Every structure is written in C-alpha cells, then in structure tokens.
Amino acid sequence: MLCADRGTLDVNRCKSCGFVYLANWERNLARSEELYDYYGRLSAEELTQRHSPENRARQQKLLRALAGYTRGRRLLDVGCGDGQLLQTAKDEGWDAVGIDLSGTAILLCHRRGLAASKTDFFDVSLDGRRFDVIVMSELIEHVPSPQRFLKRAEELLDSNGILYLTTPNFGSLARRALGESWSVIHPEHIGYFERSTLRKMASAETRLREIKIEANNIAPSTFVAWMRRRGTRRAGAVAELHRETRRGLDQRLRRAVHRSQALEASKQLLNHAVSRAGLGDTLVAWLQKPSV
C-alpha cells in the first residue's frame, strides 16, 4: 500500500513480467470524468502563457529529429490536449492532426485553428489512415491495456513510421528517493513503466523495432521534495510540496538552460548519464515500424 497525495493506493508488481500497476484501477476509471477535468479548469487561461518559448524550441528540435526517420510529414498526436505540439508541428510544415477524449481540450485546439477531434484511438474512422509519426506523450500510464495502444499504433503507422512515446519512469531516481511521496503515484495512473518492462511489452506485442528507449531528465523539484521528506513523515505533505514547487522551479531552470550554451551542454551531459543508468524521470521511446 502506498500513501499518495489523494489517499492510500495499492500498487502491485507482476511476479512474472515485473510490470507495476495500480490495483483496483476499475474503481478509479469509473471516476474518470472527475479525475480528468483538467482542461475544464484551464479553459479560462491564456494559451500564450502556457505555451512557453522553451517548450516550443524543444518541440521544434523533436520534430526535426523525427523528420530524419520518415519520408512524409503526416503526424497524429494521440491525447493532443490543448494542442501545444499540434501548433508547433503545423508551423513547421507538418500535416498534423490530434485526437483527444476531452471535449474541452478539443475546443481549445479549435480556438487556434488546429485540426483536432474528439475521437477514440480505436474508432473506425482512423482505420483507413496511415501516419509517418504517431505521438503518445504521457498517455499509456492512463490506460488499462497499453498493449492495445502499441498494437493500434503499429497498425496506423506507414512503413518505416515512428511511434514517439513518453511515460513516467518507475525506475527513476525520483521514485527511489521519494518512495510513496513520488507525485506520479496517482489515481489516474494505472500502469507504471520501467525501461525493461516497456521494452518487453513493445517487443512481445508488436513488430515495432526499437530505435532507442531513454530515461531522461531529473527535475530540480525532486531534490527539494527529497530534502523536505527527510524532515517529515507526512508523505502527503511532501507530495503536495513536490507538485507545487515543480512547475515554477523547473520552468525557471528550463529558461536558464535555454539561454545559456554552457548550461545546455551541461544538461546534455547529465541527461546522457542518467539515461544510461535508467534513472531519469521520463521514459522516451522511439519505435519504428518495419518496411513492408
């Protein structure tokens, strides 16, 4: 039993494959509308305040790297949210479309003239389409059958197409340091991936070829929460601190790094080290569909 910021959660590890998952996830899935009212709460915010130049620069770099693997520029963002990546992709010349189950998120996309719809990933309307890139950012931890999502991505990718996938890393230094105070342990997160379990799932369930699976980034707020944890036994309070400080502290660091070549080089070295050790906060997978 792990005490997370929204109560006591039971997180189990499969004895045969090592995958970590939330017990009683069906009960939490029934509360999905309550748990996922995120964009409803954000709809009054100015989007320009949320879409920072640093995020845009990071997305531009990603899209240019993805373009090096593909022949075309047809991109599907699964769980597109309010369209941050869609906007950048559109500006970079991609034929980018997004889908999301949040009607509010889709309205935010439409306000900016983005091609997005409230569509399930398994809807038959997508069956005849093929994409050069499919993006799933922070998605598969929310679904009860991530294998189905990997298989569906393989089906919808064109030959040599790329699935770009990110998810929190259960093997991260943050989770090891914070334990039950790790803010990622949450009622809306069903699956908790490590590099080994993500690799096993992709290879067992699909023909997608691994280009790389990295474990990138360590948020400065992790260390703030860890130091606070050493002085208190209230795991919930630490998780709350972690959540409150993360956005501001991490955003300030990203801006500083973006403006400094020396800091950017240091960040790349740190990322390389933590990725090799599998200790970064975020798993980043590049998976390619074989040519026919």
The model's pLDDT over 6-29, given as tens digits with 9 standing for 90+, comes to: 456 788 898 888 899 888 766 655
In a domain, 86, yes or no: yes
Classify strands 95-99 and 157-168 as parallel, antiparallel or unpaired.
unpaired
DSSP state letter for 200: H
Which residue type occupies 75? L
Q: What is the pLDDT of residues 87-141, one digit of tens each?
A: 999 999 999 999 999 898 999 899 889 999 999 999 999 999 999 999 999 999 9
Once rounded to an integer, what is the mean pLDDT over residues 44-69? Answer: 83
* Predicted local distance difference test score (pLDDT) of residue 54: 82
Number of domains within the chain: 1
268 lies in a domain?
no
pTM listed for this prediction: 0.82
Q: Provide the pLDDT confidence category of residue 1 given band limits of 50, 70 and 90.
A: very low
Q: Does a structural domain hold residue 230? A: no
Q: Label residue 44 by pLDDT band (50, 70, 90).
A: low
**Digit-coded pLDDT (tens) for 264-276:** 566 666 667 777 7
CATH number at residue 167: 3.40.50.150
Tell me whether residue 210 is in a domain. yes
**Domain encompassing residue 118:** 2-40+52-172+181-218+280-288
Looking up tokens 């990622």 gives 184
Instruction: Tell me the pairing of strands 131-137 and 157-168.
Output: parallel
206 pLDDT band (50/70/90 cuts)?
Answer: very high
Distance CA 19, CA 150 (A): 16
274 in Cβ contact with 216 (< 8 Å):
yes
In a domain, 24, yes or no: yes
pLDDT of residue 273: 77
18: left (phi over 0), alpha (psi -120 to 50) or beta: left
Residue 47 lies in a domain: no
> Residue 106 phi/psi, 5° resolution?
-65, -40
- Pairing type for strands 116-117 and 95-99 reads parallel
Q: Is the pLDDT of residue 73 over 60?
A: yes
pLDDT in tens, 167-194: 999 999 888 888 877 888 888 899 999 9
Percent above pLDDT 90 for the chain: 49
Predicted confidence (pLDDT) at residue 226 exceeds the cutoff of 60: no
- Average pLDDT of the chain is 82
Compare 259 and 4 and report the one with higher pLDDT.
259
The residue among 162, 156, 96 whose CA lies nearest residue 127 is: 156
**Degrees (nearest 5) of the Cα angle 13, 271, 86?**
85
Which residues in 66-208 belong to E strands, given as ranges?
74-78, 95-99, 116-117, 131-137, 157-168, 191-192
In a domain? residue 227: no
Q: Is 273 part of any domain? A: no
DSSP letter assigned to residue 182:
-
Are the C-beta atoms of residues 283 and 193 closer than 8 Å to each other?
yes
